[in-house]
Each structure stands twice: as structure tokens, then as C-alpha cells.
């Protein structure tokens, strides 16, 4: 077998094959002998059919089978000899098998590979996490948000004011002069002056009582989420079902117990601060991780095989189908490809870079690190450590945990953590 390999693109390998006629003929004769032993023809005892009869009846089929087997086996051998690791289906072209007596079998196979890459100066980058300092006011705001989560609402018999919540239903909706026949009422009470509310609605809902009606005219902005209303004028007739006042709970012993065993407000605030600082550190690290990968890609450009990108689109499309909410429209695969092209390329290059750096720097997860993560999961779900460890070994989760730990350690290395 003779092979010639060319690289028209960094991610493409074209292998030209030439198999001698002697090798093909020997394989055909062997195949015909197999047929002779196995085939039963009228007038001949099993295994005694003359060779010329077998060749006449099955010669073409034997030749076709040999050519198919030769292409498959030759491709596998060539990949091993030339260190080619395909990431796509092989494309067989230019098969020439009947060019004349004694002529070799010739064919060409194209396949895609991950291109060889070299990442330079990744250990000299000066990108660091920009961690935001948590202020006392940030902690206070979070505690207020906790109070807001446990707020109580009660109906009041008075005119509404800013900060009140209105339960209402529409009696009439007209958009640019066209009355809507299908009206969806607000599922939750509307806060007067709340975030994202229209000032026209705030004005129209202020000073009303339960049982009253109000007429409200709104000019929707051009970038409004509902395309049918964007840039148009809406006229709403509303009936006030109730006016509700929000009352925040006092920060007392009963309130503290909702979040754990805290002896004082200061103890709760300290825990809140720790949580906020960890969240801010995680966010800063994530931003730094993204920035460092972007910088490496900029300084070390390389290509991604199209087959990898197509597989990424397939996975995203499958994830959409599996996890989307019933009311969400299902995008087509073409829409997925158009929407996530840049994301796909970045994600695939990110994986190559992490693999490259972790291999170069011998970064990997230790058994202690893996066991620690499994222990945390076991405690979270009330399971025994050894039971969960055995389960994870069987279902492949242990390998995923190792991969995630290696990835995190590699990214931390790239932003300077763990480097001498």
C-alpha cells in the first residue's frame, strides 16, 4: 500500500491511496474461495463447485466486497502510520478500480482533525481578577432584600399611593385604535412606582380605591418587548380589585431563625458578607478566566475543524429540546447555528487551550480533590460517601469531576494562581 498525505487546511487531511493489483487479486481469490466453501449451487456438492463457476457467478460481488474492505482497512492503517486522529466521518472520493488489467486500486479519503497548536507566553500574562469590595451598604441592601422576601401584604380601605400593590383586571385594551379581544390580566399585583413600570400606569393607578375603575393611556417605546405594541399607543380600561400595603418583617429573633442559627443581626450580616464576598470573587474569577482565554486566542490564532462546530450545534439543539420551557418556541438547528456561532468557536478553542496548558504544565486533579468534592455532594444530598463514590465510578461522574477540577486549576494557573 502506498499513501500520500496532504494538508490543504490545518484541520483537513487528504490521503491518496494506491493498492497494487496483486494485493487486490489475492484478496478477491481468497473471497471467492470462501464463497466456494459456503455457497450451495444446484448440481454441485457443497464445496465442490468449480472455481470458474464461482468466479462467473460471484466475481463482481467479491471484487466489490474486497474494495470496500480494503478502503476501510487501509484508512485505519494510514491513520495509525501518519498519526491522524479523525474528528469527522471519512469522505471517500475518486475510486478507480477498473482502469485496466494489472492497474492498482486508487482512491482518496478526506477527513478532519484537530490542528496541531502551539500556545506561547501563556505563563506571562498579567490578567488578574478585579474583585469588588463589599461595603456595609451592600450588606444592608441584601438584608433588606431578605426582609422583602418575607413581606406580608394586606388589603387597605384607602386611596392608593406610591409603594402600594394593585390587584386589577382589564376591562378594555385598545392598541393603536384596534381593540383586543383576548386579554391576559396581570398574574400578580402591580407595584405603583415599581422597577420597570410605566409612569402613565403609575399615575393612573395612584389615588384609586378597590372597586373603582381607571382609564390609562400609554405610549410604548419602539424597543418594547411585545412587538405588537412596540412604538404604538395603548388605551387601557382597568378595574381595581384591591389595594394592598406591603409590610416588612422586623429583624428580630423570629426573623433570624428563617435563615439559620444566628444569635444577632450582626451575625446574620457577617454571614451575608461572607456569601457576597464569595459570590463577588467567583464573578471576578469568571471574568478573568474569560479575559485570559480571549487574550490567548488573540495572541495564538488557530482554526477549529468544521465537524467540531457542527457537533457543538447538534449538542446545543438537543439541550434546547431537553430543557426548554413548554411555552418557549423551539429554535431550528439553523437558528441555533446562526445565534451561537461565535460562542461555539470560543468554547471549542477554550477547550483546546485548557487541554494544551494542562498537558504542558502537568495539571490534573488529585484523588484528595476528587474525594473532597464527592464528600461535599454526599453531605448535601444526605448520602454515604462510599456509596456515592461507587455510584459515580459506575456512571462516569467521577471522570467529569476530574475534568472540572483540572479545568478550574488550569484557569487559575493562567491568571497567576499557583505559578512560581
User: Which distant-in-sequence residues (6+ apart) come within 8 Å of 337 by Cβ?
Assistant: 313, 344
Percent of the chain with pLDDT over 70: 98
220 and 314, same domain (yes or no): no
**pLDDT tens per residue, range 240-291:** 999 999 999 998 888 998 898 898 999 999 999 999 999 999 999 999 999 9
Section 292-310 average pLDDT: 97
208 and 99, same domain (yes or no): no
| pLDDT > 80? residue 322 | yes
| pLDDT > 90? residue 49 | no
Structural domain contains residue 220: yes
Query: According to the model, what pLDDT value does residue 419 have?
Result: 59
Query: According to the model, what pLDDT value does residue 365 have?
Result: 96
Site of grid cell 451575608: 272
Closest CA to 82 of 15, 1, 17: 15
SS3 assignment, position 62: helix
Count how many domains the chain has: 3
pLDDT bracket for residue 99 (50, 70, 90): low
Structural domain contains residue 38: yes
Section 182-200 average pLDDT: 89
197 and 320, same domain (yes or no): no
Give me the domain span that covers residue 281: 264-414
278 and 406, same domain (yes or no): yes
Average pLDDT, rounded, for the chain: 92
Structural domain contains residue 142: no
Give the integer Cα–Cα distance in Å for 244 and 208: 12
78 and 194, same domain (yes or no): no
| pLDDT > 60? residue 59 | yes
Section 158-176 average pLDDT: 94
SS3 assignment, position 194: coil
Structural domain contains residue 293: yes
Structural domain contains residue 108: yes
Q: Which residues pair with 247 in a beta bridge?
A: 152
281 and 405, same domain (yes or no): yes
Site of grid cell 494489472: 102
Give the integer Cα–Cα distance in Å for 322 and 332: 14
Query: According to the model, what pLDDT value does residue 218 have?
Result: 93
CATH of the domain at 328: 1.10.3120
Query: According to the model, what pLDDT value does residue 84 have?
Result: 97
274 and 409, same domain (yes or no): yes
Lowest-pLDDT choice from 7-21, 44-58, 206-220, 316-330: 44-58
User: At which of 192, 215, 247 does a domain end?
Assistant: 247
Query: According to the model, what pLDDT value does residue 98 have?
Result: 67
Site of grid cell 487486490: 24
Query: According to the model, what pLDDT value does residue 225 have?
Result: 82
**pLDDT tens per residue, range 346-379:** 999 999 999 999 999 999 999 999 999 999 999 9
409 and 268, same domain (yes or no): yes
270 and 204, same domain (yes or no): no
Give, as one character, the DSSP assignment of residue 113: B
Concatenated DSSP letters of 72-125: HHHHHHHHHHTT--BSS--EEEEEE--SSTTPPEEEEEEEEBPPP----SGGG-
User: At which of 187, 220, 247 does a domain end?
Assistant: 247
36 and 105, same domain (yes or no): yes
CATH of the domain at 207: 3.10.50.40
Query: According to the model, what pLDDT value does residue 42 have?
Result: 76
Lowest-pLDDT choice from 207-221, 233-247, 316-330: 316-330
CATH of the domain at 81: 3.30.70.1050
**pLDDT tens per residue, range 372-385:** 999 999 999 999 99
Query: According to the model, what pLDDT value does residue 418 have?
Result: 59
Query: According to the model, what pLDDT value does residue 182 have?
Result: 83
Angstrom CA distances, 137 to 42, 258, 276, stand at 97, 22, 12
Q: Which helix (H) or strand (E) holds 153?
A: strand 152-155
Structural domain contains residue 6: yes
User: At which of 200, 215, 247 does a domain end?
Assistant: 247
pLDDT bracket for residue 36 (50, 70, 90): confident
Amino acid at each position: 500500500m502506498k499513501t500520500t498525505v496532504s494538508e490543504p487546511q490545518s484541520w483537513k487531511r487528504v490521503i491518496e491511496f494506491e493498492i497494487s493489483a496483486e494485493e487486490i487479486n489475492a484478496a478477491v481469490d481468497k473471497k471467492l474461495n470462501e464463497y466456494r466453501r459456503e455457497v450451495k449451487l444446484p448440481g454441485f456438492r457443497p464445496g465442490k463447485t468449480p472455481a470458474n463457476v464461482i468466479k462467473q457467478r460471484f466475481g463482481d460481488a467479491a471484487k466489490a466486497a474486497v474494495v470496500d474492505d480494503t478502503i476501510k482497512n487501509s484508512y485505519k492503517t494510514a491513520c495509525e502510520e501518519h498519526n491522524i486522529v479523525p474528528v469527522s466521518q471519512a469522505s471517500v472520493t475518486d475510486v478507480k478500480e477498473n482502469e485496466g488489467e494489472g492497474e492498482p486500486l486508487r482512491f482518496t479519503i478526506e477527513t478532519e482533525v484537530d490542528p496541531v497548536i502551539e500556545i506561547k507566553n501563556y505563563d506571562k500574562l498579567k490578567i488578574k481578577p478585579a474583585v469588588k469590595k463589599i461595603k456595609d451598604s451592600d450588606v444592608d441592601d441584601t438584608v433588606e432584600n431578605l426582609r422583602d422576601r418575607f413581606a406580608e401584604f394586606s388589603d387597605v380601605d384607602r386611596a392608593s399611593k406610591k409603594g402600594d400593590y394593585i390587584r386589577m383586571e382589564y376591562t378594555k385594551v385598545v392598541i393603536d385604535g384596534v381593540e383586543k379581544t383576548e386579554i391576559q390580566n396581570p398574574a400578580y399585583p402591580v407595584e405603583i412606582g415599581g422597577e420597570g413600570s410605566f409612569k402613565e400606569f403609575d399615575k393612573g393607578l395612584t389615588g384609586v380605591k378597590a372597586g373603582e375603575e381607571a382609564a390609562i393611556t400609554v405610549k410604548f417605546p419602539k424597543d418594547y418587548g411585545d412587538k405588537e405594541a412596540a412604538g404604538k399607543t395603548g388605551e387601557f380600561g382597568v378595574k381595581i380589585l384591591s389595594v394592598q400595603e406591603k409590610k416588612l418583617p422586623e429583624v428580630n429573633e423570629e426573623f433570624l431563625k428563617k435563615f439559620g442559627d444566628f444569635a444577632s443581626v450582626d451575625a446574620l450580616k457577617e454571614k451575608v458578607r461572607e456569601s457576597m464576598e464569595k459570590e463577588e470573587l467567583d464573578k471576578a474569577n469568571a471574568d478573568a478566566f474569560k479575559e485570559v482565554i480571549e487574550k490567548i486566542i488573540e495572541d495564538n490564532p488557530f482554526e477549529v475543524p468544521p465537524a467540531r462546530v457542527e457537533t457543538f450545534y447538534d449538542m446545543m439543539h438537543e439541550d434546547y429540546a431537553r430543557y426548554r420551557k413548554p411555552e418557549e418556541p423551539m429554535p431550528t438547528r439553523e437558528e441555533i447555528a446562526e445565534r451561537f456561532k461565535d460562542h461555539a468557536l470560543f468554547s471549542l478553542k477554550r477547550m483546546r487551550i485548557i487541554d494544551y496548558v494542562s498537558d504542558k504544565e502537568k495539571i490534573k486533579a488529585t484523588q484528595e480533590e476528587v474525594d473532597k468534592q464527592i464528600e461535599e455532594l454526599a453531605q448535601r444530598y444526605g448520602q454515604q460517601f462510599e456509596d456515592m463514590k461507587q455510584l459515580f465510578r459506575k456512571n462516569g461522574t467521577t471522570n467529569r469531576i476530574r475534568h472540572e477540577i483540572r479545568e478550574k486549576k488550569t484557569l487559575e494557573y493562567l491568571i497567576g494562581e499557583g505559578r512560581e
